[in-house]
Amino acid sequence: MPETEQTIYLKKPDLFSFPECLHFLDRGYDDCLYHIDINRKSVYKALKIGADRYLTRVSDHEDELKIEILLGDTSEEYEQGIKNYIIDWFDLKRDLKPFYCKLNNYENLSWMTNRYHGLRLMGIPDLFEALCWCVTGQQINLSFAYRLKRRLVEAYGRSVTYDGKTFYYFPEPEVLFRLEISAFRKLQFSRRKAEYIIGISQQFAEGEMTKKQLGSCENRTEMLKRLLKIRGVGEWTANYVLMKSMGRTDCVTYGDTGLQSSVSSLLELNRKPTRKEIERVFAPFKGWESYLNIYLWRSLG
DNA sequence: TGCCAGGCGGACA
DNA sequence: TGTCCGCATGGC
């Protein structure tokens, strides 16, 4: 891939904090699909736009986000594609004022508008990656989940090297579809997870599922129905994917242990909250459930 | 040692 | 329709 010195800028919206978003990305887990450089206060990301691959470095620059294209073919219409990816990743198009107004209505939540000021819903723009990540992370602790993801990505994903460091892309559906279950077992995936990921890969490889197609569903209920047809996708995964990949702000990851733990602290319960109790917390946040979900996760540390 | 992790499908009543 | 169990493994 050719080196470039191209830089593009994106105007930052109101109620946006790059350091808060960076903090959310850097919660002590070892994510192999981006690299945070604390000294330079920037994040490196290998991203794919259609068939074109790039390596980018994103950093804060006054009232703009600075996006350096370190590697890639910067001919033709690359710029808008990269901008769109970063906009989706940081959810830059969202006006958070209505959400902050709602938070300010509640004494036990309003502190979040200061403490996490400008935190955005950090997305996973690639739908295939988001689904595979959910399956990988189901029912295991997060540090082990990130380790499994790293093994899969390092074994089957493409990579580029820059400045002596390797940056990875998530593996292609066509590659994972052709793997045997034993290949996943070698990486310590359970047989069940292997079956799910191969099945999801098949749907993407054969064009039965695309982000565009899911996005064309009439409403959230239709999207959920479509996702729940996929083996390995339950209510938690479907909602997670809709918020992280499809940019839906009206989703709650019911059943999520992190969410349960944060709601338990919020309501001072000393036990797991019931579904009804979680629904009551989210009820006043109609249309902004995903953001409350994210801010509650953030409150875990 | 035993229980729980940012769940899910399938069996069974 | 609701409930229970197995899955795989690490962390505490």
Residue A29 Cβ < 7 Å to strand C? no
Per-residue pLDDT tens digits for A13-70: 999 999 999 999 998 889 999 999 988 799 999 999 999 999 999 999 999 999 999 9
Indicate the class that CATH gives domain A95-118+248-301. Answer: mainly alpha
Q: Give strand letter and number of the nucleotide nearest A238 (CA to C1').
A: B7
Q: Examine the pLDDT at A259 and tell me if it is beyond 90.
A: yes
Pair of tokens at residue A300: 């875990």
Phi, psi of A73 (to 5 degrees): -95, 105
Q: Would you list the domain boundaries of chain A?
A: 3-93, 95-118+248-301, 127-244
Distance (Å) from CA A52 to C1' B3? 46
Per-residue pLDDT tens digits for A57-113: 999 999 999 999 999 988 878 999 999 999 999 999 999 999 999 999 999 999 999
pLDDT interval class at A252 (50, 70, 90): very high
Cα A4 to Cα A296: distance, rounded to the nearest angstrom: 40
Is the pTM higher than 0.85? The answer reads yes
Which of A206, A204, A203, A197 has its CA nearest to residue A155?
Answer: A197
A95 as an active site residue: the answer is no
Selected from 3.30.1370, 3.10.450, 3.30.310, 3.30.420, the CATH number assigned to the domain covering A3-93 reads 3.30.310
Q: Residue A159 belongs to what H/E stretch?
A: strand A159-162
Tell me the average pLDDT of chain A. Answer: 95
CATH topology of domain A127-244: Endonuclease III; domain 1 (1.10.340)
Give residue A205's identity as a one-letter amino acid code: A
Burial of A129 (0-12, 13-18, 19+ CB in 10 A): buried
Distance (Å) from CA A130 to C1' C1? 31
Point out which residues pair with A67 in neighbouring strands.
A8, A58
